[in-house]
Amino acid sequence: MAFTKSQEVGRTATGSPVASQGLQWLWQYLSNVRHPRVFECGPIRQSTLDVLLLRGAKLYLADLITPSLQTNSPFWSHQGKTPVFLIDDFLAQLPAIPPESLSAICCWGLLDTLPREALPKLVERFHSYLQPNGVLFSVIREPNLTVGAETRWWFETLTVLGSSDKSQKPFPYPALTNREVEKLFPGGNVKTFLTRSGRREVLGVK
Protein backbone atom coordinates (compact mmCIF):
# COMPACT_ATOMS: atom_id res chain seq x y z
CA MET A 1 0.00 0.00 0.00
CA ALA A 2 1.39 3.43 -0.92
CA PHE A 3 0.79 6.41 1.39
CA THR A 4 1.73 10.05 1.00
CA LYS A 5 2.37 12.83 3.50
CA SER A 6 -0.96 14.41 2.56
CA GLN A 7 -2.94 11.37 3.72
CA GLU A 8 -5.57 12.05 6.38
CA VAL A 9 -7.49 9.24 8.07
CA GLY A 10 -10.73 9.74 9.97
CA ARG A 11 -13.11 7.29 11.58
CA THR A 12 -16.44 9.08 11.89
CA ALA A 13 -18.65 9.47 8.82
CA THR A 14 -20.67 12.68 9.04
CA GLY A 15 -22.56 12.68 5.75
CA SER A 16 -25.67 10.94 4.46
CA PRO A 17 -24.92 7.61 2.74
CA VAL A 18 -26.38 7.27 -0.75
CA ALA A 19 -26.46 4.37 -3.21
CA SER A 20 -24.26 5.08 -6.23
CA GLN A 21 -25.23 3.87 -9.70
CA GLY A 22 -21.77 4.74 -10.94
CA LEU A 23 -20.05 2.61 -8.32
CA GLN A 24 -22.49 -0.24 -8.88
CA TRP A 25 -21.48 -0.17 -12.54
CA LEU A 26 -17.77 0.13 -11.66
CA TRP A 27 -17.60 -2.91 -9.41
CA GLN A 28 -19.72 -4.99 -11.73
CA TYR A 29 -17.36 -4.01 -14.54
CA LEU A 30 -14.34 -4.99 -12.39
CA SER A 31 -16.00 -8.11 -10.96
CA ASN A 32 -13.40 -10.41 -12.56
CA VAL A 33 -10.45 -8.40 -11.23
CA ARG A 34 -9.38 -10.24 -8.09
CA HIS A 35 -6.99 -7.63 -6.69
CA PRO A 36 -7.78 -4.25 -8.27
CA ARG A 37 -5.22 -1.49 -7.96
CA VAL A 38 -7.02 1.70 -6.93
CA PHE A 39 -5.79 5.30 -6.63
CA GLU A 40 -7.85 7.30 -4.09
CA CYS A 41 -7.47 11.07 -4.58
CA GLY A 42 -9.37 12.53 -1.63
CA PRO A 43 -8.92 12.88 2.15
CA ILE A 44 -8.91 9.29 3.39
CA ARG A 45 -11.57 7.90 5.73
CA GLN A 46 -11.14 4.68 7.65
CA SER A 47 -14.31 3.28 6.06
CA THR A 48 -12.77 3.77 2.60
CA LEU A 49 -9.68 1.84 3.64
CA ASP A 50 -11.76 -0.92 5.20
CA VAL A 51 -14.06 -1.31 2.19
CA LEU A 52 -11.34 -1.33 -0.46
CA LEU A 53 -8.94 -3.55 1.45
CA LEU A 54 -11.75 -6.03 2.10
CA ARG A 55 -12.28 -6.05 -1.68
CA GLY A 56 -8.65 -7.13 -2.02
CA ALA A 57 -7.46 -3.84 -3.50
CA LYS A 58 -3.94 -2.47 -3.51
CA LEU A 59 -4.26 1.23 -2.69
CA TYR A 60 -2.37 4.34 -3.72
CA LEU A 61 -3.41 7.32 -1.59
CA ALA A 62 -2.90 11.06 -2.05
CA ASP A 63 -5.23 13.88 -1.00
CA LEU A 64 -5.28 16.08 -4.10
CA ILE A 65 -8.60 17.76 -3.30
CA THR A 66 -7.56 19.70 -0.19
CA PRO A 67 -4.63 21.53 -1.85
CA SER A 68 -6.72 22.16 -4.96
CA LEU A 69 -9.09 24.31 -2.84
CA GLN A 70 -6.41 26.38 -1.11
CA THR A 71 -6.02 29.76 -2.82
CA ASN A 72 -2.75 30.39 -0.96
CA SER A 73 -1.31 27.00 -1.86
CA PRO A 74 2.20 26.68 -3.33
CA PHE A 75 0.61 25.46 -6.57
CA TRP A 76 -0.38 29.01 -7.56
CA SER A 77 2.10 31.50 -9.01
CA HIS A 78 1.24 35.18 -8.50
CA GLN A 79 4.26 36.62 -10.27
CA GLY A 80 2.30 37.94 -13.24
CA LYS A 81 -0.90 39.97 -13.53
CA THR A 82 -2.97 36.78 -13.65
CA PRO A 83 -2.44 33.91 -11.18
CA VAL A 84 -1.20 30.72 -12.84
CA PHE A 85 -1.87 27.23 -11.52
CA LEU A 86 1.35 25.20 -11.50
CA ILE A 87 -0.02 21.92 -12.76
CA ASP A 88 3.42 20.29 -13.11
CA ASP A 89 4.19 21.03 -9.44
CA PHE A 90 0.73 19.73 -8.49
CA LEU A 91 1.29 16.47 -10.37
CA ALA A 92 4.72 16.07 -8.75
CA GLN A 93 3.02 15.23 -5.43
CA LEU A 94 1.45 12.07 -6.89
CA PRO A 95 2.72 8.73 -5.58
CA ALA A 96 4.98 6.60 -7.76
CA ILE A 97 2.41 4.68 -9.82
CA PRO A 98 3.65 2.45 -12.67
CA PRO A 99 2.14 3.21 -16.10
CA GLU A 100 -0.92 1.16 -17.08
CA SER A 101 -1.11 -0.46 -13.64
CA LEU A 102 -4.39 0.80 -12.13
CA SER A 103 -7.83 -0.75 -12.34
CA ALA A 104 -9.57 2.39 -11.07
CA ILE A 105 -8.97 5.98 -9.98
CA CYS A 106 -11.44 7.71 -7.64
CA CYS A 107 -10.89 11.42 -8.17
CA TRP A 108 -14.28 12.45 -6.70
CA GLY A 109 -14.90 16.21 -7.24
CA LEU A 110 -11.35 17.11 -8.22
CA LEU A 111 -12.31 18.13 -11.77
CA ASP A 112 -14.64 20.79 -10.30
CA THR A 113 -11.92 22.40 -8.16
CA LEU A 114 -9.07 22.91 -10.64
CA PRO A 115 -8.85 25.56 -13.37
CA ARG A 116 -9.81 24.41 -16.86
CA GLU A 117 -6.32 24.86 -18.26
CA ALA A 118 -4.95 22.35 -15.70
CA LEU A 119 -7.42 19.56 -16.51
CA PRO A 120 -5.93 18.17 -19.77
CA LYS A 121 -2.57 17.40 -18.13
CA LEU A 122 -4.26 15.96 -15.05
CA VAL A 123 -6.56 13.66 -17.01
CA GLU A 124 -3.74 12.68 -19.37
CA ARG A 125 -1.62 11.62 -16.37
CA PHE A 126 -4.51 9.70 -14.84
CA HIS A 127 -5.17 8.01 -18.18
CA SER A 128 -1.52 6.91 -18.36
CA TYR A 129 -1.89 5.15 -15.00
CA LEU A 130 -4.91 3.10 -16.05
CA GLN A 131 -4.68 -0.43 -17.40
CA PRO A 132 -6.53 -1.14 -20.64
CA ASN A 133 -10.20 -1.22 -19.55
CA GLY A 134 -9.31 0.71 -16.36
CA VAL A 135 -11.81 3.31 -15.10
CA LEU A 136 -11.58 6.92 -13.90
CA PHE A 137 -14.49 7.67 -11.52
CA SER A 138 -15.50 11.30 -10.90
CA VAL A 139 -18.31 13.22 -9.23
CA ILE A 140 -19.03 16.38 -11.25
CA ARG A 141 -21.57 19.07 -10.41
CA GLU A 142 -24.43 20.22 -12.60
CA PRO A 143 -24.50 23.95 -13.56
CA ASN A 144 -27.43 24.66 -11.21
CA LEU A 145 -25.40 23.52 -8.18
CA THR A 146 -23.47 26.63 -7.13
CA VAL A 147 -22.12 25.65 -3.68
CA GLY A 148 -20.52 22.54 -2.24
CA ALA A 149 -16.91 22.79 -3.41
CA GLU A 150 -15.62 21.45 -0.08
CA THR A 151 -17.84 18.37 -0.08
CA ARG A 152 -15.85 15.25 0.79
CA TRP A 153 -16.67 11.74 -0.45
CA TRP A 154 -15.85 8.28 0.85
CA PHE A 155 -16.89 4.64 0.61
CA GLU A 156 -19.50 3.40 3.09
CA THR A 157 -19.66 0.17 1.09
CA LEU A 158 -18.40 -0.62 -2.41
CA THR A 159 -21.60 0.86 -3.87
CA VAL A 160 -22.71 3.36 -1.20
CA LEU A 161 -21.13 6.79 -0.87
CA GLY A 162 -20.83 8.86 2.26
CA SER A 163 -20.43 12.62 1.94
CA SER A 164 -19.96 15.75 4.02
CA ASP A 165 -22.87 17.49 2.36
CA LYS A 166 -23.03 20.75 4.37
CA SER A 167 -20.35 22.65 2.45
CA GLN A 168 -21.47 26.12 1.38
CA LYS A 169 -18.26 27.14 -0.38
CA PRO A 170 -18.99 28.26 -3.97
CA PHE A 171 -17.46 26.31 -6.83
CA PRO A 172 -14.51 28.27 -8.24
CA TYR A 173 -15.12 27.45 -11.93
CA PRO A 174 -18.05 26.85 -14.30
CA ALA A 175 -19.44 23.33 -14.42
CA LEU A 176 -17.99 21.01 -17.04
CA THR A 177 -20.40 19.91 -19.74
CA ASN A 178 -20.72 16.27 -20.74
CA ARG A 179 -19.11 17.14 -24.07
CA GLU A 180 -16.15 18.78 -22.34
CA VAL A 181 -15.64 15.69 -20.18
CA GLU A 182 -15.70 13.46 -23.27
CA LYS A 183 -13.07 15.65 -24.93
CA LEU A 184 -10.88 15.55 -21.82
CA PHE A 185 -10.79 11.76 -21.59
CA PRO A 186 -8.71 10.18 -24.40
CA GLY A 187 -10.96 8.09 -26.62
CA GLY A 188 -14.11 9.72 -25.24
CA ASN A 189 -15.44 6.45 -23.76
CA VAL A 190 -17.42 8.05 -20.93
CA LYS A 191 -20.49 6.86 -19.01
CA THR A 192 -22.62 9.32 -17.02
CA PHE A 193 -25.12 8.62 -14.26
CA LEU A 194 -27.40 11.40 -13.00
CA THR A 195 -28.15 11.76 -9.29
CA ARG A 196 -30.70 13.69 -7.21
CA SER A 197 -27.99 15.77 -5.56
CA GLY A 198 -27.21 18.06 -8.51
CA ARG A 199 -24.18 16.00 -9.43
CA ARG A 200 -23.21 13.51 -12.13
CA GLU A 201 -21.23 10.34 -11.56
CA VAL A 202 -18.90 10.12 -14.55
CA LEU A 203 -16.79 7.11 -15.50
CA GLY A 204 -14.12 7.25 -18.20
CA VAL A 205 -13.09 3.83 -19.50
CA LYS A 206 -9.67 3.36 -21.10
* pTM for this model (two decimals): 0.89
Q: 112 φ, ψ to 5°? A: -85, -15
Which domains occur in the chain, in start order?
A: 38-108+117-139+150-205 (3.40.50)
Task: Please report which confidence band the pLDDT of residue 73 belongs to, taking 50, 70 and 90 as the band edges.
Answer: confident
Give the H or E element holding residue 91: helix 87-91
156-190 pLDDT, tens digit each: 999 999 998 667 889 999 999 999 999 999 998 99
